Structure 1
Amino acid sequence: MELLIRKVNILLILAVYISKDTIFAQIIEDTGSLELVAILHRHGDRAPLHFYKNDPYKDEKKYWPNGLGQLTNEGKRKLYNLGKVFREEYKTFIPKYSAQAVRVNSSDMDRAHMSAAALLAGMFPPEGNQIWNDQLIWQPIPIHSVPNTQDKILAPLAPCPRFWAEHKKVLSLLSKLETPKDKKMYKYLTKYTGQNITSVCEALSIYDTLLVEERNGFILPQWTKNVYPYRLLEKASICPSTFTWNNIMKRIFGGPMVKEIVHQFQEKSEGRIKDMKLFLYSAHDTTIISLFRALNFKNYLLPDYGASIIFELHKKNNKYYVKMFYAHSAEIVPYEVEIPKCIVPCPLHKLSHITQYVRSVNWDTQCFEQKDD
């Protein structure tokens, strides 16, 4: 275990950056075989979620007038352009928006809702009789969500005592595996941030705040140069994976999203949602990471703003197959990935089989029972 922690495999995405006027590389090899698309994306760029005690930019009214955690103009722009990219990719498959063909779900966070709205504005501009205002080439599209305290899929914040007990154990385990070098960095961070830093998740909090401030053009304090970005990133990248560290946590935190996608693909293959073509999910980095880990990907990663996982259901010779693509940010070309324990493309029945364990979770039972899994 210690070797695993020390040799952190931060996922390096060797991809081609594209301009706002350039579309993704073609990812649909055979449009005629495409049956259904499911896209899970992270929200766009946002303001910091919190400040550290000695943060020179913690004056919220001065530096972050829209509020903590809110989508920035850059985030709106990126997600709008991402919508245009998806439109270019799928315009043959989904010529225009219709309620019968498109379903949009979002976590109940402002930044996720706004990101979905921006993306939809780029992906589905009104056409023909959809145009209701000649001065505004935009149409309202419904975005569905449930309150955070009831969400078990996109931002799993529904009450779950067993999950948080498991998470506490994981953080305790990791703290015992910290090296003298790690502890030295935590001591350094504690000194300069003005608050006690003792864990990978507290390190992530500092890394995230510095990243957001840097991207918004603020000059970071001199002390950050000794730890930011690489040294801090090495520890910070571990934190999101602590939510799916063991099998029971994968079932609780990642299983519901896997279950949702596999279920919709099965429904389509069995003819129960004949008109449906796209499920769009607007969520968070932890949602993407948890889905990856629930599918048994082993890498640590920190998805950038607008990162997307794309699942395509294809039908060939009366059999159904699933393709999976990943883009690390809103401005990176997606590439096809091989689902662990499957082939490319992955037969739907095989995907159903290899995900059976994480999909079979009963949230209430798992969350409130105490037996080992």
Structure 2
Amino acid sequence: MVSSVVLFVFTLSSVCGLAVAERKLAYVTVLFRHGDRSPIKAYPTDPYRESDWPQGFGQLSQEGMRQHLDLGKFLRSRYEGFLNESYNRHEILVRSTDYDRTLMSAEANLAGLYPPSGQQVFTPDLKWQPIPVHTVPSNEERLLSYPLKDCPRYKQLINETEHTEEFANVTAAYKDLIELVRNKTGLNKTDVESVWSVYDTLFCESRHNKTAPEWVTPDVMAKLRILKDFGFQVIFGLYKQQEKSRLQGGILLGEIVKNLSKMAAPDSKQQLKLMMLSAHDTTVAALQASLNVFSGIQPPYASCHIIELYREDNGSASVSMFYRNDSTVEPYPLQLPGCALDCPLEDFVRITKLSISDDRDKECQLPSEGRDKEVIISLAMAGILLIILIVLLLAVICWQKEPTGQQGYRHVVNQETGDES
């Protein structure tokens, strides 16, 4: 009896081991926020100015560099055996927004991911090697910087969001705080969204051991943090989230899904294994909102959304997602609503299609503008048809007036003299 149980357990473990062995990692996309930085700007009464920061406003700090060096080391450990130990330009593609802090975060990350060894060491006392980071000018960025401001329909959605009951309730609940911020900061206009920048400035200053003004109590900071997170929900969710996603984060999601499908093809000869995207908190939030997995909380510095593609021996493929928002613990799995944790690729594509626009430019048009264009086109066509009918009518009238019998007197030209007779 005991031997039978042992044989059963051995057989079961062999089968399970075989099943695990059949599922093989094929491709990874990682999207992360830059590391710790200085404030983007100061408010009017801020005691600290740009000159108080080593590299000025909006720049990666040394702590931010360390955060991404650690993230790079984590990725090296996680994908040991999948990625080549030494840098291989065919295996990885790095894309960043055109900001100093995101470019530098990517570079610090790569220093942890690909420390040089062997022939890649170009100077003995430097444990680093240059690896390309690609970008486009900020005014051309449409993949990694959100929210995009080129969409009238999205602006209309934000306006509608600000007229929802939930928005009104939050505004009313924090009316005194918003008024306090207006009085203490010297800002002419403060609302639920604009206090976000005040919180960010105060948060950066506190992380870098700068003394806060007396009015900035722990209670004020806690309430500002709630409003800051609510601001993210206003931008990407709260009201008509899926339509917002189609106009914003769905652009990035569409590119990711396209790459997953390409890499999963049985005849794929792609050597690329890792797509690394260095961007912002709003980028991570936009992508997660389009996947309907956004928690509503601002992604912290160096937070990383991981999307892994696996191939099975039978030709099928599946997608797994993870989120690393705390360096002290392992990334936790994210489950796409309506699918398993290990989501079959065909289901992943089908579910996410609802958040991806086939024609964003068309969807960005305001409904009224669309109707106006249709009316203009209809009127133009009617005008053309009316002109054609008038021309035809005149032609018929002229034809009916033409005599069919005896011609009347006419001038005759003498062909020899050219005189009339």
Range of TM-score over shorter length: 0.7 to 0.9
Letter aligned with residue 180 of structure 2? Y
| Residue pair 2:178, 2:192 contacting (<8 A) in 1 also | no
Q: What letter corresponds to residue 322 of structure 2 in structure 1?
A: F
Paired residue for 1:256?
251
Residues 82-231 of structure 1 mapped to structure 2, 5 A cutoff = 82-95=71-84, 96-156=86-146, 157=148, 159-173=150-164, 176-178=168-170, 180-196=172-188, 198-225=190-217, 227-231=219-223
CA displacement, residues 166-203 of structure 1 (integer Å, 9 cap, x when unaligned): 32443354653345431111111112122145422112
Greater Rg over alpha carbons, structure: 2
From 234, 244, 261, the counterpart of 1:266:
261
Deviation at 1:328, TM superposition (A): 1.4
Deviates more, 1:268-277 or 1:97-106: 268-277
Matched residues in 1 for 2:204 and 2:137: separation? 27
Aligned partners of 1:326 and 1:334 also within 8 Å: yes
Which 4+ stretches in 1 moved above 6 angstroms?
Answer: 29-32
Distance 1:370 1:128, change over 3 A: farther
SS at match of 2:40: coil
The sequence identity of aligned pairs, in percent, is: 34
For 1:194, give the aligned amino acid: G
Please point out which of 350, 355, 358 is paired with 1:358: 355
Does structure 1 conserve the Cα–Cα contact (< 8 Å) formed by 2:181 and 2:190?
Answer: no
Aligned to 2:276: 280
Call closer, same or farther: CA 1:211–1:131 in 2, change over 3 Å: same
Change (3 A) 1:293 1:192: same
Which of the numbers 36, 41, 44 marks the counterpart of 1:50? 41
Q: Deviations for 1:29-77, whole angstroms, at most 9, x for unmatched residues?
A: 86961111110000001110111111111x211x113121111111011
The range that moved more, 282-291 or 128-137, is 128-137
Q: Which of 102-111 and 267-276 deviates more?
A: 267-276
C-alpha deviation, 1:352, in angstroms: 0.1
**Residue aligning to 1:325:** 322
Give the superposition deviation at 1:140: 1.2
Which residue in the other structure is 2:301 paired with?
Answer: 305
- Give the length in aligned residue pairs: 343
Over 3 Å counting, the alpha-carbon distance change for 1:130 and 1:298 in structure 2 is closer
Shift of 1:254: 0.8
Is the contact between residue 183 and residue 198 of structure 1 (CA under 8 Å) also seen in structure 2? no
Q: Determine the C-alpha separation between the residues in 2 that align with 1:273 and 1:250.
A: 32
| Cα distance in structure 1, aligned partners of 2:258 and 2:313 | 21
Distance change in 2, residues 1:90/1:178 (3 Å): closer
- Using the TM superposition, give the Cα deviation of residue 210 of structure 1 relative to its aligned residue in structure 2, in angstroms: 1.0
Q: Which has the higher helix share?
A: 2
With 317-326 and 131-140 compared, the bigger mean Cα shift is at 131-140
Counterparts of 2:120 and 2:22 in 1: how far apart (Å)?
Answer: 25
Higher relative contact order (CA 8 A, sep 6+): 1
Could you tell me which amino acid in structure 1 is paired with residue 59 of structure 2?
Answer: Q
Using structure 2 for the length normalisation, give the TM-score: 0.76
Contact 1:305 1:329 in 2 (8 A): no
Match of 1:241 among 213, 219, 233: 233
Q: Quick one: distance in 2 between partners of 1:122 and 1:31?
A: 30
The 3-state SS of whatever aligns with 1:301 is coil
Structure 2 residues not aligned, in runs of 5+: 1-19, 371-421
Q: Hey, what's the Cα distance between the residues in 2 that align with 1:298 and 1:122?
A: 28
- After superposition, give the CA deviation of every residue in 1:288-307 in whole Å (9 maximum; x if it has no partner): 11111111135311111000
**Structure-1-length-normalised TM-score:** 0.85
1:205 Cα deviation from its structure 2 partner: 1.1
Equivalent pair of 1:243/1:253 in contact (CA under 8 Å): no
Distance in 1 between the 2:189 and 2:216 partners?
14
